[in-house]
Structure 1
Amino acid sequence: MTRPDAARSGRWDGLICGLIVVLAILLDHPFIEMGLIDDFSYIQTAFIYARTGHFVYNGWATAMLGWQIPWGALFVKVFGYHVWPLHLSNLVLAGLCMPLLHSVMRRSGLNRSHAIFATLLTGLSPIFIPLSSTFMTDTGGLLTLTLCWYGLLRALDSHSDRSVYLWLVIATAASVIGGTARQIVWVGALTMMPAAALMLRKRKGVVALAISLWVVSVASIVSCLRWFKHQPLSVPEPIIQGHFGLRSFRELAGTELAGFLCLIMLALPVFVAAIPPRSQWTMRGWVKLSAATVVVTMVSFFIAFHLMEHGWMPWTGDVVEHLGVFDYSAGWLLGVEPMLFSHTARIVGSFLIIGIAIAGAASLWNARRLETTETSSKASSWHSQIILLGGLLVGYLGLLVPRAIWFQVLDRYLLPLIPVAALIVLRLHQERLAKRIPTMAWATLAVWGMFAVMGTHDWLESHRARLTAVARLGDAGIPPEHINAGYEFNGMTQIRLAGTIVDPRVTFPPEMHVVTQPDYPADLPKSCYGIFYKSTPMVKPEFFLAHQVIPCLEPSSFGTVPYRTWLPPYGREILILQRSR
């Protein structure tokens, strides 16, 4: 389809996709007066910025948070000093991201059906829905990276030199500004823009402009990093963060493999689209698929076993795990959250996901080309896509290597890679298998979206139940600092009382007297502390919220807070416990 035809066909599709995603998020009622994941720290920075116009960090943010703080502060100014306006600000970004992402998919050569599918796959993913219900920087990062991507595609399609210059500048600016909140977005200016300029090098003045933009980008990035490093209570992260030896290669291989498998899981509906009809399967084909699935799954299990997930789906975590997939004791809250997926279900799911991916990939590999995407657009040619996406992947994956060696590639780091994976697989599907997405793939996407919405609802309901428990204790005169209410709540309490989280990487100003040692009773086992107790010494709990009764604690007279969920087990509760007497 030519570019003018694409513009006339389905011009409202992107807006409709955005509306669907926003309504899906609103179904979960994401407006909650509590921090989620790490945004408890960002929330306090936004509140102070709204009052003073200054960036003030609190010992937890490892990125400068950049443009997202003034954006969130604007909503705080309009709606008041509450947490929910900041969550609303991210919801707006989510709505803006979808039409832009749809335009990128169309300009990258996907037809109407495939572009809608790719957009909804990203917007309804069990990563995007939960993150867009928070004040985390991931949603804004995807928006600005997509804007950079869109600008580069427009530059490749531009007929006049002036238009090329304009779009290169816009794309670079989007990347540099976007990276102030989500540093990974800087790959747009550092690697994607040079890749686009390489394809435009025969245009007058493009090489000189690209070099100038790259130099300015590097200078801006270095200046931002130096500024952030010198801010009080900031937490800069060096690239080299520990010893590097032979074991590091094993850690790198396992972590990168876990991230790759998690990405396959997040993009699963596109592989379902590529699976051939049942009538085309032979017994020999089933045997080959079964053998390949067993081998790949078991090899992956051994390579990625060192991670918390022990080599089974979701392979790596942070966000998806909150939706009833996986939890560990005394993590976000004492006890283990009731899970939709048992350990056995995770094992079965691992084989199923890898089997579907192998079947879909094999189908695409063996299929004969139906047609080449006919287009007058330079941006949508395979040559342009390979170079542009190659620039993105080289920069993005390169920046993830240090994380893979010394930490873990969290599932939310994969968010920008979901549309990339969808574009590549769906473009192949469109040209080799069918011009339309099969019904089974749409059904899988619908189930995937329902899981994301329902799982996010249950995750938020758990936090609401915590707040109800805290309010019940507060009515009895018990202040928040005497309540262990979990990771996010304790973090907000610590910042409110001390102005900072206690982190060994942070140097405190001389005039700031910070209690750095937690004052937990010596006879209280560490299983009752929670993972965050060393960083929140101002929290000296007398009461503890938990998913289950903990051996070192006993039920209190304040009872439990029951809540209902949309996914099984449906009846859950938050227990209010106290020290055993």
Structure 2
Amino acid sequence: MNFLKKYQDQLGLLLLWLLLIFIINPIGDFPLNDDWCYGKSVKTLTENGYLKLYNWGEMTLVGHVYWGFLFTKIFGFSFTVLRWSTLILGFATLLGIYELCKLANISRWMAIFGTILCMVNPIFLSLSFSFMTDIPFFCVTIWAFYFFAKALKTDSWKPILWAIFFCFWAFTIRQLAWVFPIVFLVTMLLSKKRNLQNLAKAIAPLCTLIVFSLVFSYIMESNDLLQERYNSKFGLLLENIKNVDKNLIILIFSYFFRCMAYLGFLLAPIHIFYMNRYTFRGYKISAIVWTLLVTGILIQIGKVLPSLDNIWIDFGVGPTTLADHAGNFTTSPEPRAPQLFWQMVTAIGVFSSVALLFHIRQMIASVFKKRQVNSLVVLSFVFYVVYLTPFLIVGVYDRYLLPLFPIAIVFLATNSTKVPKKMYKYFAFSFLILMTWFSVCAVHDHLSWNRARWKALDELVDSGIPKNQIQGGVEYVTWNFFSEEKEKWWESVTPKYTLVFKPTDEQKVVKMYTYDRWLFGDGVFWLVE
């Protein structure tokens, strides 16, 4: 009984997570998005006994592949097994978010609510039901951040050692792990006394990660395991920095405004709650001007939510990768929400993001007035700046924003034990219910469509139609025909039959397929020739 009482919040989160898994249903031996490539590496390792990273991405990836291998070695290879491996890390991420909120001395109500809000975030929930690298990287990011935060609070070496471990793990998934020790180093210099002991703590994670990355790269290169595009994003980052021009600056601001709108909308109840504590002169005018200006810009350039590739799409989650959608990963099958709806959603997100700007203003004002700023607030702010800046320069996907959602909660709510009033709770729970409904239905529909798609494809192959005469979508083509030896491998597919969401007048309909759809509209796609 003591155990149940002590861990009642964590067990409640686990039960809710399992309930969502049961409702959505993760079963299905098919790839989603880019996870065909990661699954192919796991399959090669499981069945042939050697590591092979295919030339599709530019990540380190090894940690992700071996995590999947751990499960397929026990249960056999399938994308269902790989999906479960991600779902486990998804829950570990939620535990990390909750423990981080507790460490930041956030009220129990807000810690639980904030964790659940991150759980039903459509980007997080969708990726948890895939074998993409985003959830594993998000998981180790949160735990690295947690232990760095604990090191700042306790002035102890032990959490730093744990943080280093998670930095190593993160680096074996993505090179972006470089930002974590840099964030800690900057935070230590800004918030702690500059003595020899603190300097050693500050530089230890960065120095050890440098050594680890050099050893890792040497081993990978010696065994010819690096992808051809390895570190290509870093090269693009340096090139863009060297050749800054007007277009790049405009693009950076565009990405920044969209990121703020995403963070603002998907955390709207939390942002709006904490916005009430800022009452400096002109704060109302500032909020109105920011909202009108940024929303107007995003409407003018056609980048209202959701305009970042490629998980949260027009009215659902994706990407939708059939032939008639493959060139536009942010569009869902019909019916779609009207443009006015998305403009309103964008305006809400932009207005909500004002809380972040106001808190940054308060933090800067405290520095000038020589007031003590909580080290976790500094850590969160530095993380935002260091983590987000490279993406603003080279391009950002919506899934790259995942670590920023819980960090925003810590940034705004550290040492805030204030509990919302009843009227605010009604608003917060209404938002949470709507978000849960949308995310659960969207992820369910995405998996349901894919189950029907791959069943249809298997039936076509079983009927004697050659695979290269079927255009079944991006994942189907890449899984079956991707080749490192053949330069234009996609030309192997000369489709006679194509799956589409909506036939054109020029296409002859061969068969209609249906799938179980919970969001508005009919669950239908077509085989045409």
| Match of residue 351, structure 2, among 349, 358, 382 | 358
Q: Which of 235, 239, 264 is residue 234 of structure 2 equivalent to?
A: 239
Q: Match for residue 366 of structure 2?
A: none
In structure 1, the partner of 2:325 is: 331
The CA distance in 2 between the partners of 1:428 and 1:539, in whole Å, is: 58
Corresponding position: 1:383 with 2:374: yes
- 1:432 is displaced (CA, Å) by 9.7
3-state DSSP of counterpart to 1:567:
coil
Question: Which runs of structure 2 are paired with 1:437-452 in the superposition (5 Å)?
Answer: 438-452=425-439
Query: Which whole-Å CA distance do the structure 2 matches of 1:484 and 1:333 have between them?
Result: 14
* Partner residue, 2:369: none
- Within 5 Å, which residues of 2 pair with 1:297-308? 297-302=295-300, 305=301
- Aligned residue number for residue 251 of structure 1: 251
Q: How much does 1:265 deviate?
A: 2.3
**Distance in 1 separating the partners of 2:6 and 2:426:** 20
Q: CA deviation at 1:16?
A: 1.8
Alignment-derived partner of residue 76 in structure 2: 80
Task: Give matches, 1:421-500, under 5 Å.
Answer: 421-427=408-414, 431=418, 438-495=425-482, 498=483, 500=484
- Whether 1:135 and 2:131 are equivalent positions in the alignment is yes
Structure with a larger share of its residues in helix: 2
Provide the C-alpha distance between the structure 1 equivalents of 2:266 and 2:13, rounded to a whole number of angstroms.
18
Of 508, 512, 523, the residue aligned with 1:572 is 523
- For the 8 Å contact 2:472–2:499, the answer to whether it is kept is yes
- Note if contact 1:127-1:319 (Cα within 8 Å) is conserved in structure 2: yes
CA distance in 2, matches of 1:333, 1:317: 11
How far 1:132 sits from its partner (Å)? 0.3
Which of 401, 404, 410 aligns to 2:392? It is: 401
- The structural deviation recorded for 1:179 is 2.2
In structure 1, what is the equivalent of residue 262 of structure 2?
262
Q: 2:123, 2:51 → 1: CA distance? A: 28
Q: Residue 194 and residue 288 in structure 1: after superposition, are their counterparts in 2 closer, same or farther (change >3 A)?
A: closer
Displacement after TM superposition at 1:38 (Å): 0.7
The structural deviation recorded for 1:545 is: 0.6
1:428: Cα distance to partner? 8.9
314-323 or 290-299: which moved more? 290-299
Q: Residue 54 and residue 298 in structure 1: after superposition, are their counterparts in 2 closer, same or farther (change >3 A)?
A: same
Give the distance between the partners of 2:17 and 2:174, measured in 1 at CA. Answer: 22
Shift in CA distance, 56/287, structure 1 to aligned 2, threshold 3 Å: closer
- Out of 330, 336, 340, the position equivalent to 1:341 is 336
Deviation at 1:311, TM superposition (A): 1.7
Q: CA deviation at 1:437?
A: 6.0
Contact 1:108–1:385 (Cα < 8 Å) also in 2: yes
* Cα distance in 2, alignment partners of residues 255 and 359 from structure 1: 17
Residue 274 of structure 1 deviates from its aligned partner by 5.4
Q: Is the 8 A contact 2:152 2:376 kept in 1?
A: no
Partner of 1:126: 122
Measured in 2, the distance between the counterparts of 1:36 and 1:300 equals 30
Match of 2:206 in 1: 214
User: How far did residue 198 of structure 1 move?
Assistant: 6.0
Tell me the CA shift for residue 387 of structure 1: 2.0
TM-score (norm 2): 0.84
Inter-CA distance 333–458: structure 2 relative to 1 (3 Å threshold): farther
- 8 Å CA contact 1:144–1:185 kept in 2: the answer is no
Whichever residue aligns with residue 433 of structure 2, its letter is: A
Paired residues of 1:39 and 1:134 also in contact (CA < 8 A):
yes
**Mapping of residues 518-529 of structure 1, within 5 Å:** none
Report deviation, 1:19: 3.1
Contact 1:113 1:437 in 2 (8 A): no
- Counterpart contact for 1:91–1:133, Cα < 8 Å: yes
> C-alpha displacement at 1:427, in angstroms?
4.9
Query: 2:62 aligns to what?
Result: 66
Q: Residues 380 and 411 of structure 2 are in contact (CA less than 8 Å); yes or no, is this contact kept in structure 1?
A: no
3-state DSSP of counterpart to 2:499: strand
1:100 to 96, 103, 106: 96
Which residue, 490, 500, 505 being the options, matches 1:536?
Answer: 490
Q: SS where residue 523 of structure 2 aligns?
A: strand
Query: How many correspondences in the alignment?
Result: 499
Are 2:448 and 2:515, in contact at CA under 8 Å, matched by a contact in 1? yes
Cα shift at 1:362: 7.2
TM-score relative to the length of structure 1: 0.77
Q: Which residue of structure 2 aligns with residue 510 of structure 1? A: none
The equivalences for 1:555-566 within 5 A come to 555-556=509-510, 559-566=511-518
Is the contact made by 1:67 and 1:180 (CA closer than 8 Å) also made in structure 2? Answer: yes
Return closer, same or farther for 1:225/1:332 CA change in 2, 3 Å cut-off: farther
Q: Superposition RMSD on alpha carbons, in Å?
A: 3.5
Match of 2:294 in 1: 296
5+ residue gaps, structure 2, are: 277-282, 363-371
Distance 1:360 1:59 in 2: 38
* Offset, 1:48: 1.3
| Distance 1:449-1:540 versus aligned 2 partners, 3 A rule | same
Give % identity.
21
Superimposed CA distance per residue, residues 150-176 of structure 1 (whole angstroms, 9 cap, x where no aligned partner): 212322333xx7xx1121111022012
Matches of 1:349 and 1:261 in 2, distance apart?
Answer: 11
Identify the residue that residue 515 of structure 1 maps to in structure 2. Answer: 486
Query: Structure 1 residues 43 and 287, CA, compared in 2 at 3 Å: closer, same or farther?
Result: same
Structure 2 residue aligned with 1:527: none
Secondary structure of 1:553 counterpart: coil
| Contact 1:228/1:234 (<8 A) preserved | no
How far did residue 212 of structure 1 move?
Answer: 3.5
Offset of 1:269 from its aligned partner?
3.0
